[in-house]
């Protein structure tokens, strides 16, 4: 009986050590995350194998696991840039990005966990300054926002693709010009719109006048042709034809043929 406490104490200590060992070795990777394994007594960061996926993992207690968010993330950035004529422009943009899952080990080894500050933000700022510097404030305000957005995205993507980062999209949310420049551009655009409206009304009036002129000329030409084709004989025949039709009316009493001055029939006795 005296030996039981001496045997039980090492067992208890052993169990405690096992529990501590397991707690130090157990790693849980959450949803939308992945882990990069670092082998303290090995080659360091594991880059030749896929990262640790979601769920429970056991690793040697002397090794480390660095957990990364691998879902799509969004960053908002406000930037001061210069237009082609040197005016200050404020650009509000956002970027959708995520680490390259299969290259997560290399990303950790070469760049580190703060890759957003080291790579993505400096690259977006540099691309934005380069792209906006090609355009005037008027172009930035009116018609070139989509082009600017696409160009910033392409220039940024070329760089981050080589840094084990996936860039999904860059969105230019707002372009803010100096108030005096904005007001001048709005006045100019308003004047241009009014000028286009006036030109439209002028062209419409000219077209209507031309239509009326052509219509009047057509009628004049038709009357001229008709007058040239009507001889006295045709007029007399037409008159006789019309008189005969009128004579068939119940209101006509007497028809005298050839009694008028021009030889056309006369109708007498109308009720």
Distance CA 263, CA 225 (A): 25
pLDDT in tens, 95-107: 999 999 999 999 9
User: Which CATH number describes the domain made up of 73-177?
Assistant: 3.30.479.30
Report which of residues 248 and 74 the model is more confident about.
74
The fraction of the chain above a pLDDT of 70, given in percent, is: 66
Residue 199 pLDDT class (50, 70, 90 cuts): confident
Nearest residue to 52 via CA among 98, 97, 105: 105
* pLDDT at residue 1 in the model: 46
Distance CA 103, CA 106 (A): 5
Say yes or no to pLDDT of 4 above 50: no
State whether the Cα torsion 248-251-253-256 is positive or negative: negative
The fraction of the chain above a pLDDT of 90, given in percent, is: 36
User: What average pLDDT score do residues 182-209 get?
Assistant: 68
pLDDT in tens, 54-71: 998 888 888 899 999 999
* pLDDT at residue 160 in the model: 93
Say if residue 117 is exposed, middle or buried (CB neighbours under 10 Å; 0-12, 13-18, 19+).
Answer: exposed
Q: List, as one string, the DSSP characters of the chain.
A: -THHHHHHHHHHHHHHHHHHHHHHHEEEE-TTEEEEEEETTTTEE--SSPPB-SEEEE--TTSEEEEEE-S-EEEEEEEEEE-TTS-EEEEEEEEEEEE-GGGHHHHHHHT-TTHIIIIIHHHHHHHHHHHHTTS-HHHHHTT-HHHHHHHHHHHHHHHHGGGTEEEEEEEEEEEE--HHHHHHHHHHHHHHHHHHHHHHHHHHHHHHHHHHHHHHHHHHHHHHHHHHH--HHHHHHHHHHHHHHHHTSTT--EEETT-STTS--EEE---
The gap between the terminal CA atoms of the chain, to the nearest Å, is: 155
Distance CA 252, CA 267 (A): 7
pLDDT in tens, 133-166: 888 887 877 667 788 899 999 999 999 999 999 9
* pLDDT at residue 164 in the model: 95
Domain ranges across the chain: 3-69, 73-177, 184-229, 232-268
Distance CA 133, CA 233 (A): 87
Distance of CA 166 to the CA centre of its chain: 22
User: What average pLDDT score do residues 178-203 get?
Assistant: 66
Residue 82 pLDDT class (50, 70, 90 cuts): confident
Kindly report the length of the chain. 271
Say yes or no to pLDDT of 121 above 90: yes
CB 101 within 8 A of CB 151: no
Bridge partners (DSSP) of residue 255 are 267
* pLDDT at residue 57 in the model: 87
CB 68 within 8 A of CB 98: no
């Amino acid at each position: 009986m005296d030996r039981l406490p001496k045997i039980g104490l090492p067992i208890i200590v052993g169990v405690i050590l096992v529990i501590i060992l397991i707690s130090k070795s157990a790693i849980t990777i959450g949803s939308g995350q992945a882990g990069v394994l670092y082998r303290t007594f090995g080659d360091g960061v594991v880059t030749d194998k896929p990262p640790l996926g979601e769920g429970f993992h056991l690793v040697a207690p002397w090794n480390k696991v660095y957990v990364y968010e691998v879902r799509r993330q969004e960053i908002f950035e406000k930037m001061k840039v210069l237009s082609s004529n040197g005016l200050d422009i404020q650009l509000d943009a956002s970027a959708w990005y995520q680490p390259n899952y299969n290259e997560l080990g290399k990303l950790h080894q070469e760049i580190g966990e703060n890759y957003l500050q080291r790579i993505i933000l400096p690259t977006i700022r540099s691309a934005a300054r380069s792209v906006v510097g090609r355009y005037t404030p008027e172009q930035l305000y009116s018609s070139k926002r989509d082009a600017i957005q696409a160009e910033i995205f392409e220039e940024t993507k070329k760089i981050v693709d080589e840094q084990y980062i996936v860039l999904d999209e860059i969105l230019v949310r707002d372009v803010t010009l100096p108030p005096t420049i904005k007001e001048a551009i709005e006045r100019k655009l308003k004047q241009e719109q009014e000028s286009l409206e006036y030109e439209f009304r002028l062209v419409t009036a000219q077209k209507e006048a031309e239509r009326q002129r052509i219509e009047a000329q057509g009628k004049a030409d038709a009357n001229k042709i008709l007058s040239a084709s009507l001889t006295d004989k045709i007029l007399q025949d037409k008159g006789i034809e019309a008189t005969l039709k009128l004579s068939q009316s119940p209101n006509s009493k007497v028809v005298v043929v050839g009694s008028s001055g021009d030889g056309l029939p006369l109708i007498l006795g109308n009720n």
